[in-house]
Amino acid sequence: MSDTSKVEKTEGVVETQSTVAPADDPTAAAVAVVDPRLLVREEGFKGYWTEFKRKTKGGELGSLPVVIGLIVIWTIFQLKNDRFLSADNLSNISYFLSATGMIAIGLVFVLLLGEIDLSVGSVSGLASTLFAVFVVDHTMNGWLSLFLTILTGIGIGALHGWFFAKIGVPAFVVTLAGFLGWNGLMLWLLGSSGTINIPSDSGPVHLLGQNSFFMDQAIIGAYVLAGLGVTSMAVGSFTEQRRRRAAGVPFRPTSEILLRVGLLAVASFLAAAVLNNASGVSNALVIFLAALVIVDFVLRRTTYGRKVFAVGGGIEAARRAGINVPMIRITVFAIAGGFAAVGGMFFAGQTASATLNAGGGNTLMLAIAAAVIGGTSLFGGRGTVWSALLGMLVIQSIQTGLDLLNMNTSIQYMITGAVLLGAVVIDSVSRKSQKAAGRA
Amino acid sequence: MVHVSATPVLALRGVSKRFGAVQALTDVDLEVHAGEVVALVGDNGAGKSTLVKTIAGVHPIDEGVIEWQGNPVSINKPHDAQGLGVATVYQDLALCDNLDVVGNLYLGRELLHHGVIDEVTMEKNARELLSTLSIRIPSVRIPIASLSGGQRQVVAIARALIGDPKVVILDEPTAALGVEQTAQVLDLVERLRERDLGVILISHNMADVKAVADMVHVLRLGRNNGAFSVKDTSHEEIIAAITGATDNAVTRRAGRHSTEAAQ
């Protein structure tokens, strides 16, 4: 209470003292006053800038590496090939990023626990094959096959989770075994033919195909989506502001809300205009974005999401709070398996077939890299599902750019490896400086 | 001064606990009244932690009776104790570093608003709780990782109060704290007493015990070794009870001298 004399000069104290306690009561003064050592953001845009600088120094990089990475990558590729920033190519990027992006959403859950799932690539490949077997070999209904495929993915993930949570096998090893085993099962199912072509005139594969667009390519479609996103963010922010104001807790100033909504509006309407310039918003992208919104809501606003963060932040604390830790672990791996299967469906939609190399190669590495580049920590407890989108923008830009330049697979692998390493290095370094700045 | 109710809110009568060949607790009695701070002291291995864990439901008792507000109850798992209204703050605080103060306070019992976590009400209640306890925290929205040790301790204690308990058990709350932070935690213990909670305080620090406790119960080798009212007991008497006044280096030496003198 030694700094009572200092803080009494501020306004807040005077108010509290008049309503709560006499001026000479030091504890009353201490109640409402903000700790004088706490940095308070200044008003106006200068405030945002100083806070931004402070956060960056403290290692809270947020989406900064992604933005810088994107600018660098887009500049380099545009200089090498002037078709890179054309509407058609950007539309391609937006379509192809959704498949691996779906896998990355599931990985974000696993990374939030501080674990890793190495099997998601193989599970996605197995899913596309399973779907093809259901539809082609067993002439099953497409939607029923989709349902069964995703259910299988969830089951596979739950099995990994069970070995990890109940038997105590490290997740790394369980999912490494899954990586091999499920890939083997896929190869066995595909047999000697190696490829199963899936009819793509209707059903899920048609919906996820490269030529299937939201609202059938109507120009208005993209703007409807952009408008929907911007409006819901604005309504949500102002509702929250009103509730917080009514409850008497700190709320976001109107200027800040307008700034954020404005930025989102510029970004989404620009993207809509570019995609319309090509051929519209692909259904795959729309489903991916919808999944992001739903999963973000689950992680931030439901008790389940809170439990996932709690287990990632401190297992002992979570256990004492009555959280069923094994249950959370199993469900998280099940979610990762489910999203891997969905990602596999997206791959099947891209090629309208199930092939030997589906989900192989660098699919797994790209999904992990996407989540980490987007800002989800490998060390657990920190991250958002939007990192799947941001990271995939970077990753898919590199992929598409290298394809445009006709680079060899060998070069692609080397570059992907370097990008993954770079992302993990950024994560580790930022965690170190967060520790030094007392934020981790 | 303390106004204690006639019926203790929590009473242990003849409680015993064995772990294999070890008799950890033998015939232990303990009473806690509402609005009373009971300090539990004793050397390492005296059975303090075991006793607390029997109350918290971690170790069910083998013999004896636990009475809650005069009625015998059985506490077999932590959930039973929480249901009765016993909140325990362990020495390792077990907070989630990545969650903010509000998130930690309500972890495992989040308030819901149409099935969605009600951050606004939780934040409002958290601020009210922290301010009635005069807890100073930079902001309720910063992660626990950025708080100091003392601030974490008060958050952990405040967390125990969210479930509206009747008895709060604090296991060595000041062990790792500096001078100022210790004072803050002791202030907080006094405020718990003012809120009419029964507090069981485990501590090795006699100064803390003398500062806030009303009663001191001494455990020695798993048995009661005296219960003292703090204000009419000297520091030395308590220490003597902890170390075993009848069996220590000083008494043994005195005993030797007297037998030599008799010869």
For residue B142, give the nearest of B176, B189, B93, B95 by alpha carbon: B95
pLDDT band, very low/low/confident/very high, at B207 (cuts 50, 70, 90): confident
Is A57 exposed, middle or buried, given 0-12, 13-18 or 19+ CB atoms closer than 10 A? exposed
pLDDT at A214: 79
Task: For chain A, give the number of residues.
Answer: 440
State the Cα–Cα distance between residues A168 and A18, nearest whole angstrom: 59
* H-helix or E-strand spanning residue A278: helix A254-278
State the Cα–Cα distance between residues B204 and B192, nearest whole angstrom: 20
**Contact in structure between B171 and B202 (CB atoms under 8 Å):** yes
Interface of B with A (CB under 8 A): 79, 90, 92-99, 103-104, 107-110, 112, 115-117, 119-121, 123-124, 127, 131, 134, 136-139, 141, 143, 145-146, 187
pLDDT at A9: 36
A243–chain B Cβ distance below 8 A for any pair: yes
Q: B116 CA to chain A: closest CA distance, Å? A: 5
* H-helix or E-strand spanning residue A353: strand A353-355
- The CA distances from residue A8 to A163, B135, B137, B151, B193, in Å, are 58, 17, 17, 22, 29
Given CA atoms A260, A262, A266, A271 in this order, what sign does their dihedral have?
Answer: positive
**Residue A38 and residue B127: Cβ atoms within 8 Å?**
no
A309–chain B Cβ distance below 8 A for any pair: yes
State the Cα–Cα distance between residues A265 and B135, nearest whole angstrom: 42
- Please say whether the structural domain A64-212+282-424 has been given the CATH code 1.10.3470: yes
Structure tokens belonging to residue A2? 């030694």
Q: What is the DSSP string of chain B?
A: -----SS-SEEEEEEEEEETTEEEEEEEEEEE-TT-EEEEE--TTSSHHHHHHHHHTSS--SEEEEEETTEEE---SHHHHHHHTEEEE-SS----TTSBHHHHHTTTS--EETTEE-HHHHHHHHHHHHHHTT---S-TTSBGGGS-HHHHHHHHHHHHHTT--SEEEEESTTTT--HHHHHHHHHHHHHHHHTT-EEEEE-S-HHHHHHH-SEEEEEETTEEEEEEEGGGS-HHHHHHHHHTTTSSHHHHHHHHHHHHHH-
**Residue B124 and residue A247: Cβ atoms within 8 Å?**
yes
Q: What is the DSSP string of B155-217?
A: HHHHHHHTT--SEEEEESTTTT--HHHHHHHHHHHHHHHHTT-EEEEE-S-HHHHHHH-SEEE
Residues of A in contact with B96 (CB under 8 A): 309-310, 313-314, 317-318, 381
**Which residues lie across from B25 on neighbouring strands?**
B17
**Over A48-69, what HEC string results?**
HHHHHHHHHHCCCCCCHHHHHH
Q: Least CB-CB distance to A302: which of B97, B117, B143?
A: B117
| 3-state SS, residue A215 | helix
Q: Least CB-CB distance to A439: which of B134, B138, B146?
A: B146
- The CA distances from residue A77 to A27, A85, A367, B154, in Å, are 62, 8, 22, 54
A58–chain B Cβ distance below 8 A for any pair: no
Task: For chain B, give the number of residues.
Answer: 263
**Residue B138 and residue A303: Cβ atoms within 8 Å?**
no
Residues of A in contact with B107 (CB under 8 A): 306, 310, 317-318, 321, 323
Query: Testing the interface with B: which of A239, A249, A299 to mutate, by most B Cβ within 10 A?
Result: A249
Residue B2 has pLDDT above 80, yes or no: no
- The CA distances from residue B182 to A41, B44, B110, B188, B211, in Å, are 31, 21, 30, 10, 11
Contacts 24+ apart (CB under 8 A), A25-32: A26/A1, A27/A1, A27/B134, A27/B187, A29/A4, A30/A1, A30/A4, A30/B134, A30/B136, A31/B131, A31/B134, A32/B131
**Contact in structure between A440 and B97 (CB atoms under 8 Å):** yes
A405–chain B Cβ distance below 8 A for any pair: no
**Contact in structure between A399 and A361 (CB atoms under 8 Å):** no
Is A410 exposed, middle or buried, given 0-12, 13-18 or 19+ CB atoms closer than 10 A? exposed
For residue A343, give the nearest of A323, A359, A320, A322 by alpha carbon: A359
**Residue A247 and residue B110: Cβ atoms within 8 Å?**
no
Q: Least CB-CB distance to A306: which of B117, B121, B134?
A: B117
Strands (E), A168-290: 195-197
Task: Indicate the residue type of B254.
Answer: A
Q: Which residues contact A220 (CB under 8 A, 6 or more apart)?
A: none
Backbone angles phi, psi at B12, to 5 degrees: -110, 130
State the Cα–Cα distance between residues A28 and A17, nearest whole angstrom: 7
Query: Testing the interface with B: which of A303, A327, A377, A382 to mutate, by most B Cβ within 10 A?
Result: A303
pLDDT at B5: 55
pLDDT at A440: 54
Mean pLDDT of B62-90: 88
A27–chain B Cβ distance below 8 A for any pair: yes
For residue B199, give the nearest of B86, B38, B85 by alpha carbon: B38
Ordered strands of the B198-202 beta sheet: B86-89, B167-171, B198-202, B37-41, B215-220, B223-229
Mean pLDDT for all residues in chain B: 84
Q: b/e for B78-109, b at 16 or more Cβ within 10 A?
A: bebbbebbbbbbbeebbbbbbbbbbbbbbbbe
Residues of A in contact with B134 (CB under 8 A): 27, 30-31
Distance of CA A265 to the CA centre of its chain: 20
* H-helix or E-strand spanning residue A340: helix A325-351
Q: A297 CA to chain B: closest CA distance, Å? A: 9
% chain B with pLDDT above 70: 92
Mean pLDDT of B40-48: 86
For residue B109, give the nearest of B91, B87, B90 by alpha carbon: B87
State the Cα–Cα distance between residues A257 and A265, nearest whole angstrom: 12
pLDDT at A28: 38
**Taking CA atoms, what residue in B is nearest to A316?**
B94
Task: Indicate the residue type of B30.
Answer: L
- Locus of tokens 């069923």: A324
Interface confidence (ipTM) of the complex: 0.78
**Residue A313 and residue B116: Cβ atoms within 8 Å?**
no
**Residue B123 and residue A249: Cβ atoms within 8 Å?**
yes
State the Cα–Cα distance between residues B165 and B163, nearest whole angstrom: 6
Structure tokens belonging to residue A296? 């973000």
| 3-state SS, residue A292 | helix
pLDDT at B94: 78
A168–chain B Cβ distance below 8 A for any pair: no
State the Cα–Cα distance between residues B123 and B157, nearest whole angstrom: 17
Angle at A298 between CA A147 and CA A164, to 5 degrees: 70
Q: A345 CA to chain B: closest CA distance, Å? A: 31
- Taking only the tens place, the pLDDT of each residue in B137-166 is 888 888 888 888 888 888 888 888 887 889
Given CA atoms A191, A195, A200, A205 in this order, what sign does their dihedral have?
Answer: positive
Q: Can you give the pTM of this predicted structure?
A: 0.83
Residues of B in contact with A320 (CB under 8 A): 90, 94
Regions of chain A with pLDDT less than 50: 1-34
Task: Indicate the residue type of A59.
Answer: G
**Taking CA atoms, what residue in A is nearest to B79?**
A322
